[in-house]
């Protein structure tokens, strides 16, 4: 009897222990699953962006033959000058170059062929002749930018089996495309114009040059405004500020400012910089100032942390040698804290780089088809460009958005790497 | 003009630095210096640049409004409203610089001439005053240099003031935020009752738009009810937290209590990448991948899902917030003193029991603080909602329908050209100030909770 009870107890204990160990193992698994989920999401996300975006770095060309016929160009002179070529009429020549792909096509259907290349094809025909004046009167092969629909078909992003009326590329155009493809007259080359041309309404011509320059200018303006003020403020608060109500207030203020939603800074830029100071709308100057207000608390906090990390022995040694407080700070503490401050600054700038909402509010969302040369020219920025393109309906913009995201992420990774390098290479380890 | 003046002042400051230093070296030959020679230079340069630049800035800030009052004096007898006066002033200015394209009346022409004249006077007065100040302050400073006063102290006091003024920058930004939001919001609440704004259940500001004229007050009453936006904001934030809290908390606990050095070294920074991705990228991902995915699953289950659902936006936002919660709670848990753990292990508790029964309760205030910070982040998030959750302000609790948030509506209202003075534009500022108050409230609570928690274990 007693033995049985003892046995039961033993069993009970064993079961309890087993249960507890199972719970332990389960709990560990929850943690692993949570981390796994977060990492999976990151992986899916990266895969999606890359698989959608890599094709934007390829550009599709249609090769055809162009006859620079003097008569069609309306050039009378025997040996035409550069001006003559500049002012010639390229419409017919370009038109012929495209329609020659299918001579049997009735004239009223010719739009179907013309639509297979970008609307700028006439300029491309003109540019080739201007570059090579001796082509005049000859028949030469020419590369024309394919329209975004043909481009998407060529990259396999466009389903061909949906009914014709739901397709932006009709059966006839597909037929021509297949014929050209078989002949090897569809070329795929590295898309340089994605990096060198400004934004465009046409997906095949759109590039990131304008928004890239806009981003660079905004970040420079942001750096120029936020870095000096933030470092000076951090030095004051960490080294000189007396402990009183007012400095406490400044401190609380900075901490709260760091958590204010970015869109509120956009409202500030709109309400003060544009409405009161009348700064030019849509420009990187205003964008940069708005962003600098946002990065100010981030840099102040980083700079203060790295000033705090300088050991007191350094200060005491300097003071013992007869340096004044200001000399101690400026000659010893501040230079020693610089690596930490700089890496904090770079991280703050990287945050500002990805910001979109405040820039939209101050008008940097305008369509800009020129490359800005100064901070007071209207411009977009890379994140805003992502927003603008993702609102467009054309299929060709999807890969452009993904490619733009890849450029932006590359930029961010570079900046974060720079911050790491600055921190690890130059920071002194106090032990 | 301004640029030349500023360059001149700065160049003069540089030259006076070298001049001051040289002077100190000359003095050195006859008597003992009371400071290093460079301080003589700094002293002169500071006296040269600071007063002139301060006057320059003040002048530039106040000049336009003074000129404006002078110009508009001629129009006071015409009984015009503030907006009309502003319009006239813009026209006058445009005419003066030659960019005006409307028809030119005599009156306008006269004003433009007056404007040009006033500007000319103001400019020459500015140059004269600044030159006078430069001469005065430089001669004053030069006298002290000659007397060989202690030069270091005034220079250091000056530098300290510069540092102090810089630290006021952050305060200035806060004041700017409050001022810009309040100013427009107050004007908005003159047109729309604050009661209608806070308790109205219908948000449709486009309805009030009337070309050339004042909108109907009856319409206004019904168009600016912000309840659907408040509800949508917290609803999406709630969905986000449903994703972020379990994943973030569990991975934070795992990283701090279980993970080996190697896992911790790599997993933590990789998870933190999620926080570094720009929100517009998340928005694109939510709109293009997650939204259609949710819709497909819903349709397969026989549910009606709008292609821009609160669920998609909320879930993606939750993923964005995971690293906030995971690294903050990781820090908080690591800060729990080791002797609490040791005590628990000594009593025979397993690791998970220790975490659940000892560490978690001890770290709870810190965790709550970090969650509140994350909520404030979710409330202020803009681009994901703009791109993935639609722009129509539906009052709904169905995660499969589209809703809108405060931030998204601010963007919708202010994208493109705005007209100041329009109640629709002003409503964005009213939304902005409510957003500011909500996030400020959350932050203050969160920071004080976290601070108190830290003090407990220090």
Is it the case that residue A3 has pLDDT exceeding 80?
no
What is the band of A366 on the pLDDT scale with cuts at 50, 70, 90?
confident
- Read off φ and ψ for residue B164, nearest 5 degrees: -65, -45
pLDDT of residue A328: 94
Q: Which of A86-95, B103-112, B336-345, B415-424 has the highest mean pLDDT?
A: B336-345
Kindly report, residue by residue over A102-140, the tens digit of the pLDDT.
877 777 777 888 888 888 888 888 888 888 888 888 888
- Domain membership of residue B181 (yes or no) is no
- Which conformational region is residue B225 in: left (phi greater than 0), alpha (psi within -120 to 50 degrees), or beta? beta
What is the distance in angstroms between the Cα of B178 and the nearest Cα belonging to chain A?
9
The answer to whether residues B425 and B282 belong to one domain is yes
Nearest-CB residue to B443 (from A24, A259, A401): A259
Q: Give the minimum alpha-carbon distance from A15 to chain B in angstroms, rounded to a whole number.
A: 15
Q: Which of A20-24, A97-101, B37-41, B260-264 has the highest mean pLDDT?
A: A20-24
Question: What's the average model confidence in pLDDT over B162-174?
Answer: 89
Judgement on whether residues B411 and B279 belong to the same structural domain of the protein: yes
Cα–Cα distance, A323 to B360 (Å, whole number): 50
**Residues in chain A, overall count:** 431
Of B384 and A202, the one with more pLDDT:
B384
Q: Which tokens go with B112?
A: 């433009």
The residue whose two tokens read 């500030």 is A268
Among B124, B149, B174, which residue terminates a domain? B149
Contacts of A30 in chain B (CB under 8 A): 250, 254
The answer on B238 and B352 residing in a single domain is yes
Q: Is residue B231 part of a domain?
A: yes
Residues B261 and B394 in one domain: yes
- Taking phi over 0 as left and psi of -120 to 50 as alpha, with beta for the rest, A75 belongs to beta
Of A38, A261, A383, Cβ closest to residue B322: A38
Sequence spans of domains, chain A: 62-189, 209-426
Q: B82 with B225, same domain?
A: no
B238 pLDDT exceeds 90?
Answer: yes
- Determine, for residues A361 and B255 on separate chains, whether the beta-carbon distance falls below 8 Å: no
Contact check, Cβ <8 Å, A353/B278: yes
Match 């997650």 to its residue by tokens: B290
**pLDDT for the residue B191:** 81
Strand partners, A188: A60
Does A51 contact chain B (CB < 8 Å)?
A: no
**Domain A209-426 is found in CATH 1.10.3720.10:** yes
**Which chain B residues touch A48 with a CB distance below 8 Å?**
285, 289
- Chosen for mutation from A222, A260, A351 (greatest number of chain B CBs closer than 10 Å) is A260
pLDDT score of B163: 93
Is B18's pLDDT higher than 80?
yes
Residue B388 lies in a domain: yes
Q: Is residue B442 part of a domain?
A: yes
Does the pLDDT value for residue B212 go beyond 70? no
Distance CA B297, CA A233 (A): 53
For residue A327, give the chain B residue with the closest CA. Answer: B156
Q: Which residues of B touch A237 (CB under 8 A)?
A: 167
Mutation target among B94, B280, B425 for the A interface, most CBs of A within 10 A:
B280
Cβ(A144)–Cβ(A118) below 8 Å? yes
Domain end marker among B125, B149, B173: B149
Q: How confident is the model over B372-430, as pLDDT tens digits? A: 999 999 999 999 999 988 777 778 788 888 888 999 999 988 887 666 677 888 889 99
- Model confidence at A68: pLDDT above 70: yes
Query: CB–CB of A34 and B152 under 8 A?
Result: no
Q: What is the pLDDT of residue B159?
A: 92
Which structural domain range is residue B452 located in? Answer: 221-457
Report the C-alpha gap between B392 and A393 in whole angstroms.
19
Q: How many domains does chain B have?
A: 2
Mean pLDDT of chain A: 87
Residue A123 touches partner B, C-beta closer than 8 Å: no
Among candidates A265, A275, A324 on the partner chain, residue whose Cβ is nearest the Cβ of B152: A324
Q: Which residue has the tokens 């709550």?
A: B368
Q: Which residue does chain B place closest to A389, by CA atoms? A: B284
Boundary of a domain, candidates B114, B149, B184:
B149
Residue of A nearest to B64 (CA): A277
The average pLDDT across B15-36 equals 85
CB contact (8 A) between residue B163 and residue A250 = no
Q: Is residue B404 domain-resident?
A: yes
- The partner residue sitting opposite B436, judged by closest CB among A23, A228, A264, is A264
Taking CB atoms and an 8 Å limit, are B276 and A48 in contact across chains?
no
- Report residue B208's pLDDT band, with 50, 70 and 90 as the boundaries: low
Q: pLDDT tens digits for A150-161? A: 888 888 877 777
Interface test with A, best of B187, B279, B281, B433 (most A CBs within 10 A): B281
B322 and B427 fall within a common domain:
yes
Task: Indicate the residue of B164, B254, B273 with minimum beta-carbon distance to A34.
Answer: B254
Output the domain CATH number for residue B254.
1.10.3720.10
| C-alpha B322 chain-centroid distance | 24
Window 284-303 of A, Cβ < 8 Å to B: 293, 296-297, 300
């Amino acid at each position: 009897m007693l033995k049985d009870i003892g046995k039961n107890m033993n069993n009970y204990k064993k079961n309890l222990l087993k249960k507890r160990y199972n719970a332990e193992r389960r709990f560990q698994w929850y943690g692993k699953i949570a981390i796994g989920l977060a990492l999976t999401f990151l992986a899916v996300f990266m895969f999606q962006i890359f698989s959608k975006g890599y094709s934007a770095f390829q550009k599709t060309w249609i090769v055809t033959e162009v006859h620079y016929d003097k008569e069609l160009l309306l050039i009378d002179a025997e040996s035409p000058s550069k001006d003559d070529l500049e002012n010639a009429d390229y419409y017919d020549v370009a038109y012929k170059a495209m329609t020659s792909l299918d001579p049997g096509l009735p004239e009223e259907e010719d739009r179907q062929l013309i639509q297979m290349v970008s609307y700028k094809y006439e300029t491309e025909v003109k540019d080739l002749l201007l570059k090579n004046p001796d082509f005049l009167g000859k028949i030469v092969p020419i590369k024309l930018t394919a329209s975004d629909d043909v481009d998407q078909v060529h990259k396999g992003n466009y389903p061909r089996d949906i009914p014709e009326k739901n397709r932006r590329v009709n059966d006839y155009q597909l037929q021509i495309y297949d014929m050209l493809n078989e002949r090897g007259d569809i070329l795929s080359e590295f898309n340089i114009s994605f990096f060198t041309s400004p934004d465009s309404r046409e997906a095949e011509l759109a590039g990131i040059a304008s928004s890239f320059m806009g981003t660079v200018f905004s970040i420079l303006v942001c750096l120029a405004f936020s870095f000096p003020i933030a470092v000076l403020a951090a030095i004051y608060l960490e080294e000189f500020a007396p402990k009183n109500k007012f400095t406490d207030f400044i401190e609380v203020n900075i901490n709260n400012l760091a958590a204010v939603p970015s869109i509120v800074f956009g409202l500030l830029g709109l309400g003060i910089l544009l409405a009161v100071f009348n700064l030019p709308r849509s420009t990187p100057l205003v964008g940069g100032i708005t962003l600098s207000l946002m990065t100010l608390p981030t840099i102040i906090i980083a700079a203060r942390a790295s000033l705090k990390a300088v050991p007191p022995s350094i200060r005491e040694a300097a003071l013992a040698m007869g340096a004044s407080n200001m000399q101690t700070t400026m000659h010893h503490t501040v230079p020693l804290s610089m690596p930490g401050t700089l890496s904090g600054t770079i991280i703050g700038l990287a945050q500002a780089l990805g910001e979109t909402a405040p820039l939209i509010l101050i008008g940097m969302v305008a369509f800009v088809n020129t490359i800005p040369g100064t901070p007071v020219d209207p411009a977009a920025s890379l994140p805003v460009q992502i927003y603008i393109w993702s609102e467009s309906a054309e299929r060709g913009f999807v890969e452009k958005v993904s490619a733009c995201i890849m450029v932006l992420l590359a930029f961010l990774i570079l900046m974060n790497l720079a911050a790491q390098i600055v921190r690890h290479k130059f920071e002194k380890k106090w032990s | 003009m301004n640029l030349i003046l500023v360059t001149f002042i700065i160049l003069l400051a540089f030259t006076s630095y070298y001049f001051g230093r040289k002077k100190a070296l000359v003095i050195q030959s006859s008597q003992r210096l009371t400071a290093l020679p460079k301080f003589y230079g700094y002293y002169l340069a500071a006296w040269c640049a600071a007063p002139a630049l301060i006057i320059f800035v003040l002048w530039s800030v106040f000049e336009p409004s003074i000129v404006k009052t002078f110009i508009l004096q001629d129009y006071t007898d015409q009984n015009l409203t503030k907006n009309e006066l502003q319009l006239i002033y813009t026209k006058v200015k445009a005419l003066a610089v030659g960019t005006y394209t409307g028809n030119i009346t005599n009156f306008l022409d006269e004003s433009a001439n007056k404007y040009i004249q006033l500007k000319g006077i103001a400019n020459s007065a500015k140059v004269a005053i600044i030159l006078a100040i430069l001469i005065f302050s430089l001669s004053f400073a030069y006298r002290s240099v000659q007397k060989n006063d202690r030069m270091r102290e005034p220079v250091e006091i000056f530098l300290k003031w510069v540092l102090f003024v810089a630290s006021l920058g952050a305060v200035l930004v806060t004041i700017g935020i409050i001022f810009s939001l309040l100013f427009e919001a107050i004007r908005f609440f003159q047109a729309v009752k604050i009661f209608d704004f806070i308790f109205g259940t219908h948000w449709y500001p486009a309805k009030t738009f009337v070309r050339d004229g004042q909108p109907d007050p009856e319409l206004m009453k019904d168009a600016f009810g912000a309840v659907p936006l408040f509800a949508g904001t917290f609803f999406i934030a709630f969905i986000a937290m449903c994703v972020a809290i379990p994943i973030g908390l569990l991975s934070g606990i795992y990283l701090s209590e279980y993970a080996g050095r190697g896992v911790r070294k790599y997993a933590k920074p990789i998870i933190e990448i999620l926080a570094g991705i720009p929100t517009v990228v998340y928005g694109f991902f939510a709109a293009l991948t997650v939204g259609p995915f949710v819709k497909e699953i819903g349709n397969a289950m026989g549910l009606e899902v709008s292609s821009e659902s609160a669920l998609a936006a909320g879930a993606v936002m939750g993923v964005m917030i995971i690293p906030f919660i995971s690294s903050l709670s990781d820090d908080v848990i690591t800060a729990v003193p080791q002797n609490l753990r040791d005590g628990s292990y000594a009593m025979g508790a397993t690791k998970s029991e220790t975490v659940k029964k000892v560490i978690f309760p001890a770290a709870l205030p810190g965790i709550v603080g970090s969650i509140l910070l994350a909520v404030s982040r979710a409330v202020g998030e803009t681009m994901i909602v703009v791109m993935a959750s639609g722009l129509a302000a539906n009052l709904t609790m169905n995660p499969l329908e589209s809703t809108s948030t405060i931030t998204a509506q601010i963007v919708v209202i202010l994208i493109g050209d705005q007209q100041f003075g329009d109640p629709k534009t002003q409503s964005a500022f009213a939304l902005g100030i409510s957003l500011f108050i909500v996030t400020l409230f959350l932050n203050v609570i969160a920071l004080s909770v976290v601070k108190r928690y830290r003090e407990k274990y220090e």
